[in-house]
Amino acid sequence: MVVRSGGDPSALATLVQREVAALDAGLPVFQVEPMTVTLAQQTANDRFGAFLLTLFSGIALALAAVGIYGVLAFVVRGSRKDIAIRMAVGANTAEVVGLVVKQGMLLAFAGVVLGLTFALLATRTLSALLFGVTATDPATFVAISLLIALVALVASYLPARIAARVDPISALRSD
């Protein structure tokens, strides 16, 4: 039995128990609680699963950012001589930053294309876990792709700034 009240539901518990006993004294009355408590108990596992999925997604996003930064920092470190030559023949800071950010965005684009491909292949498995959206929800795919691109842009900017500060003379002498 479900009873709707305009006031405090716990205040009606004894009244409902009395009315049920008046109708049939043999009917047991148990689990008298507000619907919010019942719904919270029934959806606890789903909410915990969503929390874990959000947590692991955040960790994956952080790992992607660190990975992009690490790869670009390694590439910038390895191409210091090339960057120094570019700067020595007249490239300005904006051109060097643009070059390194372009490399990072190409890596991110390749990762997004691979990720979308595998995500589309995995939709059958994931469709049982989704509520309120389809497994191939275009808005979700676009939003996540843009988020990854934004993270890649931010992660590639720092190595780009480091590359732009390379002193051409010392970089050419060190190798």
Looking at the structure, do residues 21 and 64 belong to the same domain, yes or no?
no
Residue 171 corresponds to which tokens in the numbers above?
Answer: 């970089």
Looking at the structure, do residues 70 and 131 belong to the same domain, yes or no?
yes
Q: Determine the average pLDDT of the residues in 131-144.
A: 82
Write out pLDDT tens, residues 124-134. 777 777 777 77
- One-letter amino acid identity for 29? V
Looking at the structure, do residues 21 and 78 belong to the same domain, yes or no?
no
Write out pLDDT tens, residues 10-55. 778 788 888 888 888 888 877 778 888 888 899 999 899 989 999 9
Counting residues of the chain whose pLDDT is more than 70, the rounded percentage is: 98
The pLDDT of residue 56 is above 90: yes
Looking at the structure, do residues 101 and 22 belong to the same domain, yes or no?
no
Main-chain phi, psi angles of 134, to 5 degrees: -85, 165
Confirm whether 4 is domain-assigned: no
CA distances to 93, 112, 117 from 98, in Å: 8, 20, 28
Confirm whether 156 is domain-assigned: yes
Residue 113 confidence class, pLDDT cut points 50, 70, 90: very high
Residue 144 confidence class, pLDDT cut points 50, 70, 90: confident
Confirm whether 143 is domain-assigned: yes
- The overall average pLDDT reported for the chain is 84
Predicted pLDDT at 28: 83
Most confident of 3-12, 90-99, 110-119, 166-175: 110-119
Can you say how many angstroms the Cα of residue 140 is from the centroid of all Cα atoms in its chain? 11
Number of domains the chain contains: 2
Question: What does the buried/exposed string (b/e) look like for 40-55 if buried means 16 or more CB atoms within 10 Å of the residue's CB?
Answer: eeeeeeeeeeeeeeee
| DSSP output for 95-111 | HHHHHHHHHHHHHHHHH
Looking at the structure, do residues 61 and 94 belong to the same domain, yes or no?
yes
Q: Could you give the dihedral angle defined by the CA atoms of residues 118, 99, 62 and 135, in that order, rounded to the nearest 10 degrees?
A: -30
- Domain residues for the domain of 20 are 9-39
Looking at the structure, do residues 21 and 89 belong to the same domain, yes or no?
no
Looking at the structure, do residues 66 and 35 belong to the same domain, yes or no?
no
The pLDDT of residue 99 is above 80: yes
- The pTM (predicted TM-score) of the whole model is 0.63
Long-range contacts of 31-38 (CB under 8 A, 24+ apart): 33/9, 34/9, 34/10, 35/2, 35/9
Q: Determine the average pLDDT of the residues in 116-143.
A: 81
